[in-house]
Amino acid sequence: MTVLPRWVDIALIPAINLVLAFFVSGLIVIWIGENPLIAMQVMLNGSIGSAYGWGYTLYYATNFIFTGLAVAVAFHARLFNIGGEGQAAIGGIGAALVCLHFGWPHWTLAFPAAIVGAAIFGAAWAAVPAYLQASRGSHIVITTIMFNFIASALLVYLLVNVMKAPGQMAPESRSFPAETHLPTAHEMFAWIGVSFPRSPPVNVSLLVAIAASATVWVLIWRTRLGYAIRAMGWSEPAAIYAGIRPFRIIMVTMMISGGLAGLMAINTVMGEAERLLIDSVQGAGFVGIAVALMGRSHPVGVVLAAVLFGMLYQGGVELEFEMPAVSREMIVVIQALVILFTGALENMVRAPLERIAAMFR
Amino acid sequence: MRANGSESRRETAAPAIELRNISKSFGAVRANRDISLAVAPGTIHGIVGENGAGKSTLMSILYGFYRADAGEIFINGEPTRIPDSNAAIKAGIGMVHQHFKLVHNFSVLENVVLGAEDGLILRSTLTRARKLLTELADEYELNVDPDAIVESLSVGHQQRVEILKALFRHADILILDEPTGVLTPAEADHLFRILRSLRDEGKTIILITHKLREIMAATDTVSVMRRGEMTATLKTSETSPEQLAELMVGRKVLLQVDKKPAVPGPAVLDVENLTIEGERGETALKNISFTVHAGEILGIAGVAGNGQSELLRALGGIEQAQGTVRINGTEIPLEGANSGADARRRNGIAHVPEDRQTLGLVMEFKAWENIAFGYHHDPSYGRTRWLLDIEAARRLTGVALKKYDVRPADPDLTAQSFSGGNQQKIVLAREIDRNPDLLIVGQPTRGVDIGAIEFIHRQVLELRDSGKAILLVSVELDEILSLSDRIAVMFDGEIIGTRNANETDEKELGLLMAGIAEVKTT
């Protein structure tokens, strides 16, 4: 087997995959009778062509960083956490309880508390499948995906029967008090005297996402725990030989993973909606899988992939608006193609590249 | 390369197998380089070489698993293409793999005919096979009960089923890949008798092995491979183990270890009634008791699969067990919270596992990560409890790699990019360098090249001479005999006998390994 140079592995292969995905998407756009170059231009303009576009792109990217990191951390222990969706939903309950049940004087106090609340709730939700895997061998893929449905049912029950604001029809909690509202990019840029559009929901949570990425890097590559997680991921028999306890690693890793997914709630529930909605996750948990795959489970890769998927989301909304022939479903198809090429079909590009590399030796 | 017809009557016949200029590369690795070989019909031809010399690749090309990049194959003088194993069978080639390819819950007869049935109805094929099996049993000492279920047979008998499978398919050329790895010495002798009578009937046999003794005992001619090339083809009667070893390694090697007499001290490891229940309720270890003293090597001999692996796993804290184990007089828990491998390391037990690639190393980890493996909570790898000091780990690894002659001594290379011998030295460096009271070591030189074997044996003896206790498990009887001070033989989960190394010999141990305890007691 040939080992590829590092830059090929981390930069060239994802780039080629991305080009292929866009090429096939372009063919689909041609097939429905639109000009793919114009479609591309609309998407780029809409997502990164203006401060407004950036504001939305980064808002989505914040979600994807959290869920992408969640999947990436679990990956290092060879655990496939498909439950980001449910963990993020339950994290929302944690954030909402923190915001609603304490009289916070200022957002700077409410924010750290909400971070802890969201993370603990997400971690607790991941702990159950983790325990079932660690002690009973129930496969984590199956249990986490089932827990997504349980989470969604639980959220509906709570919003309809327990947390619903009195005197209204919608299954929503009451709005969080103004003291818990997070500063958006508009406000934060205003502090340093730079103007930024008011409406994009990107907020201070983005900084938490960046900090979380750095923390995950330190955890995986610089701590003894991260070392044990990676050892367990590469080889469980070897880990046992080295005195690493799989039970402990599975529990700890999944709870870190679930906590990261739960953190997404500070961006959506606390930062954007400012109340608990019935569907605030909107598939970000699943996108996290694609983000982690494309980002090679490395925090830097996850951040870059999250921004790319943020662009696809925001650009897709614009495209739907500008080109009525391109429906919402079309956008989903393009996103799916990116996932297909960057995640599932990775080896399609790798094998020929390895052959080329071997020729030049 | 000269032809090697061993007797005059054979020189006129075309070679049974002739390879001309065979080359095969895997990516940048040139596994076979321009190999030519001719094997006369009716001979036993040995192929020796270290791991990775290209023996298996060459035989895989001959049996149709790989296709050669260049070169030609002639069978009985006819140019033959062998794109897959069906073509190989058609050309009269049969292969007995190192790991048998048998259906365990089928009878011997069913295994023999599997894939070679005459038609939809089995009866006629089975009748034909039964007749052939009876004939072969008389002719070649190849007796196996045709109706026995394969999983109830001993390993030696299972191997005979593999040979019968090949003969049922009319093989005239038999390739055996490391056939004696799982046999007792007596079973191996029996196998060689079978091979000789097959040869006398005109069959051609290729024997792949790394055991020079077997080459000397069983073959007529021998080829030596080194680094993908055929370095020599010789008549066995005109060569010696020393010459073959030198051709394999490319330099002179010491086959014998010099050893000072042991100076045993107090008991370090005291095992009483150690028992492990196997997965299906059978007992994998039955009331094992023994003692290892400081400054002594206790060798555990036995055919693979008689409980040695379980013994290592129990002592290494990988598998839970029942019984009493004392280290320096202190009892250690065998079950529950403090019975893991981390607790064993704190108790002063270092463990070089049998299988370095699945247990001893994380193949994707860098050398420094593997040197820290199992000791990653050690204060030498960082002052804080949480953070790992990578620079310190790399520095310590660089020193250890040099000290244990690991090549290349680069702490940032992944374990999989080292050769087998160097991987084993990494494991040894890690375990010995921690200055343990007791070293338990399984198959220390399995899949390791001759040059590294010398080094590893010397390290183990040095550790003994520095007053440490060593428990050595090996299926290589030569290794047990040359390193151990006392030898315990395991059979069917029990210790069937213990002997002093200088008062016993291969023959007596061979009988013990076969489960025959009632010989003489020393």
Contact call for residues A245 and B340 (beta carbons, < 8 A): yes
Query: Could you tell me how many residues make up chain A?
Result: 361
Average pLDDT (B114-122) is 83
**How much is the mean pLDDT over chain B?**
88
pLDDT over 90 (residue B187): no
**How much is the mean pLDDT over chain A?**
92
pLDDT over 90 (residue B44): yes
Q: Name which of A225, A238, A243 is nearest B345 (Cβ-Cβ).
A: A243
Q: Which residues pair with B107 in a beta bridge?
A: B149
In this structure, of A176-190, B3-17, B499-513, the range with the lowest mean pLDDT score is: B3-17
Q: Tell me how far apart the alpha carbons of residues A113 and B295 are, in angstroms, rounded to a whole number.
A: 61
- The predicted-structure confidence for B446-461, as pLDDT tens digits, reads as follows 878 777 888 999 999 9
pLDDT at B248: 85
Q: Of B37, B31, B39, B50, which is closest to residue B10 (Cα–Cα)? A: B39
Q: Of B484, B362, B343, which is closest to residue B430 (Cα–Cα)? A: B362
- Chain centroid, CA B174 distance in Å: 21
Q: Name which of B27, B359, B387 is nearest A237 (Cβ-Cβ).
A: B359
Contact call for residues B459 and B428 (beta carbons, < 8 A): yes
For chain A, the domain total comes to 1
On whether any CB of chain A is under 8 Å from the CB of B399, the answer is no
Interchain CB distance below 8 Å, B318 and A230: no
pLDDT at B451: 76
- Quote the DSSP letter at residue B417: G
For the residues of A249-271, what is the DSSP string, one character each? HHHHHHHHHHHHHHHHHIIIIII
Question: From start to end of B137-256, where are the E strands?
Answer: 173-177, 204-209, 221-226, 229-235
Contact call for residues B255 and B241 (beta carbons, < 8 A): yes
Q: Which residue of A has its CA nearest to B387?
A: A223
Cβ-based burial of B39 (10 A; exposed 0-12, middle 13-18, buried ≥19): buried
- The predicted-structure confidence for B365-380, as pLDDT tens digits, reads as follows 999 999 999 999 999 9
Average pLDDT (B242-248) is 87
Interchain CB distance below 8 Å, B376 and A354: no
Interchain CB distance below 8 Å, A224 and B316: no
pLDDT at B10: 45
DSSP H stretches of helix in A167-241: 185-191, 205-222, 224-234, 236-241
Phi, psi dihedrals of residue A187, rounded to the nearest 5°: -70, -40
- State the pLDDT confidence band at B255, using cuts at 50, 70 and 90: low
Q: Which domain holds residue A139?
A: 62-294
> Mind telling me how many Å the CA of A258 is from chain B's nearest CA?
21
Cβ-based burial of A12 (10 A; exposed 0-12, middle 13-18, buried ≥19): middle
Q: Of A91, A77, A104, which is closest to residue A148 (Cα–Cα)? A: A91
Average pLDDT (A143-155) is 96
Q: Which of left, alpha, beta for A173 (phi over 0: left; psi -120 to 50: alpha)?
A: beta
Residue A36 lies in a domain: no
- State the pLDDT confidence band at B3, using cuts at 50, 70 and 90: very low
Q: Tell me how far apart the alpha carbons of residues A264 and A91 are, in angstroms, rounded to a whole number.
A: 7
CA atoms within 13 A of residue B264's CA, in its CB half-sphere? 15
Q: Which of A227, A232, A353 to mutate to test the interface with B (most CBs of B within 10 A)?
A: A227
Residue A13 lies in a domain: no
Residue A198 lies in a domain: yes
pLDDT at B256: 67
Q: What percent of chain A has pLDDT over 90?
A: 70
Cβ-based burial of A249 (10 A; exposed 0-12, middle 13-18, buried ≥19): buried
Look at A334 and A260; give whichever has higher pLDDT: A260
- The predicted-structure confidence for B302-324, as pLDDT tens digits, reads as follows 988 889 999 999 999 999 999 99
pLDDT over 80 (residue A2): no
What distance separates the 2 farthest-apart alpha carbons in chain B? 78
- The predicted-structure confidence for B200-222, as pLDDT tens digits, reads as follows 989 999 999 878 888 999 999 99
Q: Name which of A223, A230, A242 is nearest B374 (Cβ-Cβ).
A: A242
Q: Tell me how far apart the alpha carbons of residues B87 and A40 are, in angstroms, rounded to a whole number.
A: 54
- Residue keyed to tokens 């109340």: A275
pLDDT over 90 (residue B480): yes
Domains of chain B: 101-158 (no CATH), 267-513 (3.40.50.300)
Residue A352 lies in a domain: no
pLDDT over 70 (residue B63): yes
Contact call for residues B392 and B417 (beta carbons, < 8 A): no
Residue A176 lies in a domain: yes
Residue A324 lies in a domain: no
- The predicted-structure confidence for A57-110, as pLDDT tens digits, reads as follows 999 999 999 999 999 999 999 999 999 999 999 999 999 999 999 989 999 999
Look at A351 and B387; give whichever has higher pLDDT: B387
On whether any CB of chain A is under 8 Å from the CB of B362, the answer is yes
Residues 13-52 of B with CB under 8 A from A: 26-28
Residues 322-341 of B with CB under 8 A from A: 340-341
On whether any CB of chain A is under 8 Å from the CB of B237, the answer is no
Q: Tell me, letter by letter, the H, E, C secondary structure of B178-221.
A: CCCCCCCHHHHHHHHHHHHHHHHCCCEEEEEECCHHHHHHHCCE
Q: Of B514, B458, B507, which is closest to residue B490 (Cα–Cα)? A: B514
Residue A67 lies in a domain: yes
pLDDT at B486: 96
Phi, psi dihedrals of residue A80, rounded to the nearest 5°: -100, 95
Q: Tell me how far apart the alpha carbons of residues A325 and A319 are, in angstroms, rounded to a whole number.
A: 9
Q: What percent of chain B has pLDDT over 70?
A: 95
Contact call for residues B4 and B235 (beta carbons, < 8 A): yes
Q: Name which of A1, A224, A241 is nearest B316 (Cβ-Cβ).
A: A241
pLDDT at B108: 92
Q: Tell me how far apart the alpha carbons of residues A69 and A264 are, in angstroms, rounded to a whole number.
A: 11
Residue A16 lies in a domain: no
pLDDT over 90 (residue A342): no
- State the pLDDT confidence band at B281, using cuts at 50, 70 and 90: low
Tokens at residue A119, please? Answer: 């993370």
pLDDT at B280: 61
pLDDT at A166: 84
Contact call for residues B283 and B493 (beta carbons, < 8 A): yes
pLDDT over 50 (residue B2): no
